[in-house]
Amino acid sequence: MTAQRKEPSGWIEQHRVALIRVVRSDNEEFRASGYLINSDTVLTAGHALDGAVSVSVEFFVGATSEPRRVESSTWWSGWDTFGIDIGVVRISGKSVRVGTPARIGRISRVDRKVTCGVAGFPSFKLRTRPEGAAGRDTSAFRELVRRDGQIMTLSNARTRTVEVAVDPPGQVVSRPWDGMSGAPIFVDGYVIGVVSDHYPGDGPGVLTGTLLAELFDALPAGELKKVCGWLGISTEPLDTINVLTLEDHEFADPPVDLPDRVARNLRTFGCRPVQDVPPVRVNLSRSKHRLAASERVIGLRFDKDFVYVEFIVKLVQGFPASVILTTRQMSIYDMYGHRLAIPYTKMRGVTYETTYRTVSNLDARDYQITVYELHLSTGSVETRDKRAVDIATTISRWLD
């Protein structure tokens, strides 16, 4: 996939869309939808699994879409305990063969209208085959529905859900979307959430969805590690791609995490990968900031001219990098010549303003210099390096 040739909004694989059958303690049967994330994990809505005594999952494969039912002995719901309408069905003992795992992403609550796709098995798609069809079951069944829609990111902010506007059923019936709970919500080929409800007051064409990003805020560390392990994602929210910013940079294939995005954009930032830099020019020893042994330097930017308060410094061959990018942080020089390390986790919502200072040089003359005040979540940093500011604001945009 390239920035010039985008896939459809859903990019949903039909054989992964699941019909989930739930039997509860009062023998009530309940239908929900889901999506096969990997060979043994189905994503769905949490409330669909509450009170369940048995759960089975049906997939529809082949040219005739014949059902394949898989019984499950393990399931997890985040609804009753943690108040997040996400659920996971684990297929134990008999995994389902799939190719690569589904890609999981997130979207941020900036004011956007985001094109998306949904797919599931709602009640208004109840069908029966014609009587007398040779060798065919004539009992009622649910057909798959696939809809493109729009996510309104600011709607439903108080309930931490999203509004998903889709084409309504042709004929409005009572509770037409029953069974759509747990249907995957896709944006640009990434699963970003599930359908969790339909409120009649919103109208027949508006569904309510729960974002997977809510897991990071709602679950305690131990529970988050377990669920993220099932889904095959990191427990660090910033490692999950922000799908809204995919077009903010060039890429050959969709990147999978923030360090990868930084690495792919080094030249856009005016940086060079470390393997492209002559060793004599890499002088990290002058830095007051020491990199942890686990930190992998992925890119460096050099600038010979730095103007600090009270003096002008012109660095010579072997000068240290003005910006160091690692897998977890960037470090820059501030106005006073000190190197500061800024973790990417502290760079959400970065802004800056330009100011001007009159400073005295060692030759006793005054100079007016441009200073950029970088506002971070933990405070402000003053720097002379505009390219460092550009890097910080770009990374911040990916995090929003």
- 284-336 pLDDT, tens digit each: 544 444 556 567 888 888 877 766 666 666 665 566 788 889 888 898 888 87
Contacts 24+ apart (CB under 8 A), 348-354: 348/377, 348/396, 348/399, 348/400, 349/377, 349/396, 349/399, 349/400, 350/374, 350/375, 350/376, 350/392, 350/393, 350/395, 350/396, 351/375, 351/393, 352/389, 352/392, 352/393
Confidence class for position 5, pLDDT limits 50, 70, 90: very low
Please report, as a single letter, which amino acid is at residue 352.
Y
- Which amino acid, residue 370? T
- Give pLDDT, residue 365: 79
DSSP 8-state class, residue 213: T
Task: Let me know: does 289 contact 311? Beta carbons within 8 Å.
Answer: no
* Domain range list for the chain: 14-237, 257-399
Looking at domain 14-237, its CATH class is: mainly beta
Q: Report the share of the chain in percent with pLDDT over 90.
A: 38
Amino acid identity at 177:
W
Asked if 48 and 80 count as a contact pair (C-beta separation under 8 A), the reply is: no
Position 44 scores a pLDDT of 97
Give the tokens for residue 117.
Answer: 């796709």
Joined tokens for residue 287: 């830095």
Mean pLDDT of the chain, nearest integer: 83
Which residues are within 8 A (CB) of 12 and not within 5 positions of it... i.e. 6 or more apart? 35, 117, 119, 146, 184, 186
**65-102 b/e with 16+ CB inside 10 Å = b?**
eeeeebebeebbbbbeebebbbbbbebeeeebebeeeb
